[in-house]
């Protein structure tokens, strides 16, 4: 038989060029594609055996083998699958975008459970990204002759008969020479090849063997080693997510977490999902135990690994996780995804959206049950990621607050530990109108805040807000179980009318004194008032209106917010001895009143954790009182 060179079809030529240069974002995926084809070829034998009793399928006989030869610069991927006839070589490899596997799938539609990966008929050509010549030697099942298909790229291919002892296919790549810009040598390195197989093809159902060089002790001689060639299976084959939950132990899940490098910690909890509904998928998700070092930075990338029929499609599919659950690690495998030609996931994929929604609800449910059943673990989780949940409540204009309100916790003044809003509300005495909170740098500092005195004295529980985001998140929530949130520093505390009356009386009586004090502070506060919340402390600072002092602090620390200002109010405890001194100064010595007022104001600033505007003046003022 004469060997004639055949041209690729015109479209194929252009497509091949495009393919090699642009479809795949990474060169290394050529190996994924060739292994997928080999796996498909073995699958086809398996299905043949299912429908034809004369065909036996002994598992040991079916495998993929990778051999790298540095001297010849060849990389061979062999399989013991169904092979290709001369026509099939022409049809499937001579025409780009023709998928024999897709045709096979269609023919066998009736049969259940097939896992055939191929569908676009382009994967094979990715070999040309790393090879300048590809030889395919194949012997089809049921045929005595083998054929050799050879191509050096765009200019076409040749086919001729050849010898091959076993049924199956060898794909021999002539790896390109490295250039200054691109290194190809790595595709001849055992370790590099192994890691590519692990990354993309770890869960191919048949063994992927590689001949590797290992150091073995020399027989009969101590401390002497020799290099031996050994066949090693490098993939784990059975995906843990396809196994039955009952077969798996916590250790299995922990091992998978470590193997996958999801984190250096041990997972706090795993979630194994198998869904067989409108969209079919398996997933293994983890809630890590500790915060990754870069978690609260821009560098952190959320996402889950995405597999399609056991083959890795995407390392970090961000669309699968909402931001507020960005700490979740793990993977999803689905046969139902619509992939594009480079086997990447299509954005806006309907199935993907369905899966994402499903996953979100599962995570929420799991966290809720963790909260209910294992508070200690939940506290650990909350310590690591609670802030993210609160951010989630605030972000997107509060769209997710319903999902999150039962997952957040705050430190409680009475329980001395983190409590949920539900727990707080269920403890509220009947006469308590609001959910009270106080903001500050730490629990210890809030504990000492004068503003908390009255509310605490009433026996009401106060939630301590120590994260920047807390008050903003709560503002977004507005109410919980119809109860409004109220800062202990806010104007109307909603406590007891009788005290309010006495207060109004004090206010009236001392109207002129307060006016004089306000003037002494020349615009630094919008009002000076008799306090309704102080008991033992002489003074405190609160705010009228929406922006609290804590919010002002936080907003001012962000760019372009210098103008943000809380409407500050200086509150005076009229039952404190200091008040008598103020009254006395008001009638006898205006300078003294000025001095006292400024001192008290600066004290109030310090208690709030704000800095004194003029520390030198402040210390001079203190000295004036001493002498």
Work out whether 100 is an interface residue with ligand ADP (CB under 6 A): yes
Give 156's contacts (C-beta < 8 A, 6+ positions apart).
Answer: 5, 6, 7, 8
Which residue, 147 or 391, has its beta carbon nearer to ligand ADP? 147
Give the helix/strand (H/E) hosting 261.
none
Radius of gyration of the chain (CA): 36
Q: How far is CA 22 from CA 13, 178, 341, in A?
A: 14, 19, 12
84 binds, among ligand ADP, Mg ion, none (CB under 5 to 8 A by kind): ligand ADP
Residue with tokens 């382009």: 122
Work out whether 94 is an interface residue with ligand ADP (CB under 6 A): no
Q: Site residues for ligand ADP, window 381-440 (CB under 6 A)?
A: none
Residue 119 CB, nearest approach to Mg ion (Å): 8
Environment class of residue 347 by beta-carbon count within 10 Å: exposed (0-12), middle (13-18) or buried (19+)? exposed
Residue 420 CB, nearest approach to Mg ion (Å): 51
Q: Which two tokens stand for residue 615?
A: 């520390």
310 binds, among ligand ADP, Mg ion, none (CB under 5 to 8 A by kind): none
Of residues 30, 45, 66, 123, which one binds ligand ADP by CB under 6 A?
A: 123
334 binds, among Mg ion, ligand ADP, none (CB under 5 to 8 A by kind): none
570 binds, among Mg ion, ligand ADP, none (CB under 5 to 8 A by kind): none
Alpha-helical (H) ranges within 324-394 are 350-373, 375-394
Residue 34 CB, nearest approach to ligand ADP (Å): 7
Residue with tokens 């060849």: 74
Q: Which two tokens stand for residue 109?
A: 């539609």
Which residue, 37 or 80, has its beta carbon nearer to Mg ion? 37
Residue 120 CB, nearest approach to ligand ADP (Å): 4
Asked whether 490 and 454 are in contact (CB, 8 A), the reply is no
Q: Site residues for ligand ADP, window 161-190 (CB under 6 A)?
A: 169
Give the helix/strand (H/E) hosting 270.
strand 267-276
Between CA 43 and CA 37 the distance in angstroms is 10
Do strands 168-175 and 131-139 pair parallel, antiparallel, or not at all (unpaired)? antiparallel
Residue 41 CB, nearest approach to ligand ADP (Å): 3
Q: Site residues for Mg ion, window 167-196 (CB under 5 A)?
A: none
Work out whether 159 is an interface residue with ligand ADP (CB under 6 A): no
Of residues 118, 239, 310, 386, which one binds Mg ion by CB under 5 A?
A: 118
478: left (phi > 0), else alpha (psi -120 to 50), else beta?
A: left
Task: Please count the other Cβ atoms lying within 10 Å of the Cβ belonging to residue 176.
Answer: 19
Environment class of residue 501 by beta-carbon count within 10 Å: exposed (0-12), middle (13-18) or buried (19+)? exposed
Work out whether 41 is an interface residue with ligand ADP (CB under 6 A): yes
Asked whether 305 and 318 are in contact (CB, 8 A), the reply is no
Residue with tokens 């402040």: 618
354 binds, among ligand ADP, Mg ion, none (CB under 5 to 8 A by kind): none
Residue 15 CB, nearest approach to Mg ion (Å): 15
Q: Which two tokens stand for residue 34?
A: 């060739």
Question: Which stretch in 104-112, 121-129, 505-513, 594-602 sits in contact with Mg ion by CB under 5 A?
Answer: 121-129
Which residue, 275 or 341, has its beta carbon nearer to Mg ion? 341
Work out whether 33 is an interface residue with ligand ADP (CB under 6 A): yes
Of residues 16, 35, 37, 202, which one binds ligand ADP by CB under 6 A?
A: 37
Work out whether 309 is an interface residue with Mg ion (CB under 5 A): no
Task: Please count the other Cβ atoms lying within 10 Å of the Cβ belonging to residue 237.
Answer: 14
Of residues 83, 94, 100, 123, which one binds Mg ion by CB under 5 A?
A: 123
Which residue, 99 or 388, has its beta carbon nearer to ligand ADP? 99
489 binds, among ligand ADP, Mg ion, none (CB under 5 to 8 A by kind): none
User: Could you tell me the sign of the dihedral formed by the alpha carbons of 556, 559, 563, 564, in that order?
Assistant: negative
Q: List, in sequence order, every residue forming a beta bridge with 433; answer none if it has no partner.
A: none
Which residue, 67 or 93, has its beta carbon nearer to Mg ion? 93
Work out whether 487 is an interface residue with Mg ion (CB under 5 A): no
Number of residues that bind Mg ion (CB under 5 A): 3
Q: Which two tokens stand for residue 417?
A: 């530990």
Question: Helices 350-373 and 375-394 meet at what angle, rounded to 10?
Answer: 130
Work out whether 121 is an interface residue with ligand ADP (CB under 6 A): yes
Between CA 344 and CA 330 the distance in angstroms is 18
Question: Which stretch in 77-85, 236-244, 350-358, 418-426 sits in contact with ligand ADP by CB under 6 A?
Answer: 77-85
Do strands 168-175 and 5-6 pair parallel, antiparallel, or not at all (unpaired)? unpaired
Asked whether 393 and 401 are in contact (CB, 8 A), the reply is yes
Number of residues that bind ligand ADP (CB under 6 A): 23
**Which one-letter DSSP state was computed for residue 345?**
B
Which residue, 37 or 412, has its beta carbon nearer to Mg ion? 37
Say how many CA atoms lie within 13 Å of 377 toward its Cβ. Answer: 17
Work out whether 618 is an interface residue with ligand ADP (CB under 6 A): no
Environment class of residue 274 by beta-carbon count within 10 Å: exposed (0-12), middle (13-18) or buried (19+)? middle
Work out whether 308 is an interface residue with ligand ADP (CB under 6 A): no
Q: Site residues for Mg ion, window 518-537 (CB under 5 A)?
A: none
DSSP 563-591: T---EEEEEE-TTSHHHHHHHHHHHH-HH
Of residues 12, 80, 85, 92, which one binds ligand ADP by CB under 6 A?
A: 92
Between CA 49 and CA 276 the distance in angstroms is 27
Work out whether 118 is an interface residue with ligand ADP (CB under 6 A): yes
Q: List, in sequence order, every residue forming a beta bridge with 64; answer none if it has no partner.
A: 79, 208
Residue 171 CB, nearest approach to Mg ion (Å): 11
120 binds, among Mg ion, ligand ADP, none (CB under 5 to 8 A by kind): ligand ADP
String of contacts with Mg ion for each residue 12-51, x by CB under 5 A: -------------------------x--------------
66 binds, among ligand ADP, Mg ion, none (CB under 5 to 8 A by kind): none
Q: List, in sequence order, every residue forming a beta bridge with 286; answer none if it has no partner.
A: 270, 329
Of residues 31, 122, 525, 566, which one binds ligand ADP by CB under 6 A?
A: 122
Work out whether 310 is an interface residue with ligand ADP (CB under 6 A): no
551 binds, among Mg ion, ligand ADP, none (CB under 5 to 8 A by kind): none
Which residue, 83 or 118, has its beta carbon nearer to Mg ion? 118
Work out whether 99 is an interface residue with ligand ADP (CB under 6 A): yes
Between CA 355 and CA 337 the distance in angstroms is 10
| 163 SS3 class | coil
Which residue, 137 or 449, has its beta carbon nearer to ligand ADP? 137
Binding site for Mg ion (CB under 5 A): 37, 118, 123
Binding site for ligand ADP (CB under 6 A): 33, 37-38, 41, 79, 81-84, 92-93, 99-102, 118-124, 169
């Amino acid at each position: 038989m004469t060997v004639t060179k055949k041209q690729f079809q015109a479209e194929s030529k252009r497509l091949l060029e495009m393919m090699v240069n642009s479809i795949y974002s990474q060169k290394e995926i050529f190996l994924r594609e060739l292994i997928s084809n080999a796996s498909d070829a073995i699958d086809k034998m398996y299905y043949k055996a299912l429908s034809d009793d004369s065909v036996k399928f002994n598992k040991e006989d079916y495998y993929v083998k990778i051999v790298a030869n540095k001297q010849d610069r060849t990389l061979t991927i062999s399989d013991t699958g169904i092979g290709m006839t001369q026509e099939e070589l022409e049809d499937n490899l001579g025409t780009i975008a023709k998928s024999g596997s897709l045709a096979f799938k269609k023919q066998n539609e009736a049969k259940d459970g097939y896992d055939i990966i191929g569908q676009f008929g382009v994967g094979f050509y990715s070999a040309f990204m790393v090879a300048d010549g590809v030889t395919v030697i194949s012997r089809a099942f049921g045929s005595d002759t083998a054929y050799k298909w050879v191509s050096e790229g765009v200019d076409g291919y040749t086919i001729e008969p050849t010898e091959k002892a076993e049924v199956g296919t060898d794909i021999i790549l002539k790896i390109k020479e490295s250039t200054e810009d691109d290194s190809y040598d790595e595709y001849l390195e055992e370790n590099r090849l192994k890691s590519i197989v692990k990354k993309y093809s770890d869960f191919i159902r048949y063994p992927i063997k590689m001949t590797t060089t290992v150091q073995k002790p020399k027989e009969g001689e101590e401390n002497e080693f020799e290099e031996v060639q050994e066949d090693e299976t490098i993939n784990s084959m059975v995906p843990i997510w396809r196994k039955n939950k009952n077969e798996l132990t916590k250790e299995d899940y922990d091992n998978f977490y470590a193997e996958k490098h999801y984190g250096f910690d041990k997972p706090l909890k795993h979630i194994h999902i198998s869904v067989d509904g409108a969209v079919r998928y398996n997933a293994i998700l983890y809630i890590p135990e500790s915060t990754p070092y870069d978690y609260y930075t821009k560098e952190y990338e959320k996402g889950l690994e995405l597999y399609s029929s056991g083959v890795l499609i995407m390392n970090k599919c961000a669309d699968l996780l909402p931001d507020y659950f960005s700490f979740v690690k793990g993977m999803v495998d689905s046969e139902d995804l619509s992939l594009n030609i480079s086997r990447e996931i299509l954005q806006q994929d309907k199935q993907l959206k369905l899966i994402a929604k499903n996953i979100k609800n599962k995570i929420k449910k799991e966290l809720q049950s963790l909260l209910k059943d294992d508070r200690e673990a939940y506290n650990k989780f909350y310590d690591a990621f609670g802030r993210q949940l609160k951010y989630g409540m605030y972000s997107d204009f509060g769209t997710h607050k319903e999902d999150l309100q039962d997952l957040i916790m705050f430190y409680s003044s009475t329980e001395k530990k983190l409590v949920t809003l539900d727990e707080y509300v269920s403890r509220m005495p009947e006469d308590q109108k609001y959910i009270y909170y106080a903001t500050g740098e730490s629990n210890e500092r809030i504990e000492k805040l004068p503003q908390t005195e009255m509310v605490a004295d009433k026996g009401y529980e106060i939630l301590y807000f120590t994260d920047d985001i807390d008050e903003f998140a709560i503002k977004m929530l507005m109410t919980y179980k119809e109860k409004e949130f109220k800062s202990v520093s806010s104007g109307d505390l909603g406590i007891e009318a009788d005290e309010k009356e006495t207060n109004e009386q004090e206010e009236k009586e001392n109207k002129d004194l307060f006016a004089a004090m306000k003037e002494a502070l020349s615009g630094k506060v919008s009002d000076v008032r008799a306090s309704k919340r102080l008991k033992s402390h002489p003074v405190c600072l609160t705010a009228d209106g929406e922006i609290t002092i804590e919010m002002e602090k936080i907003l001012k620390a962000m760019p372009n917010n210098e103008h943000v200002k809380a409407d500050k109010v200086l509150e005076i405890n009229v039952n404190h001895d200091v008040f008598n001194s103020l009254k006395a100064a008001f009638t006898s010595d205006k300078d003294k009143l000025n001095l006292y007022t400024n001192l008290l104001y600066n004290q109030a600033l310090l208690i709030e954790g704000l800095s004194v505007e003029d520390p030198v003046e402040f210390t001079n003022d203190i000295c004036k009182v001493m002498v």
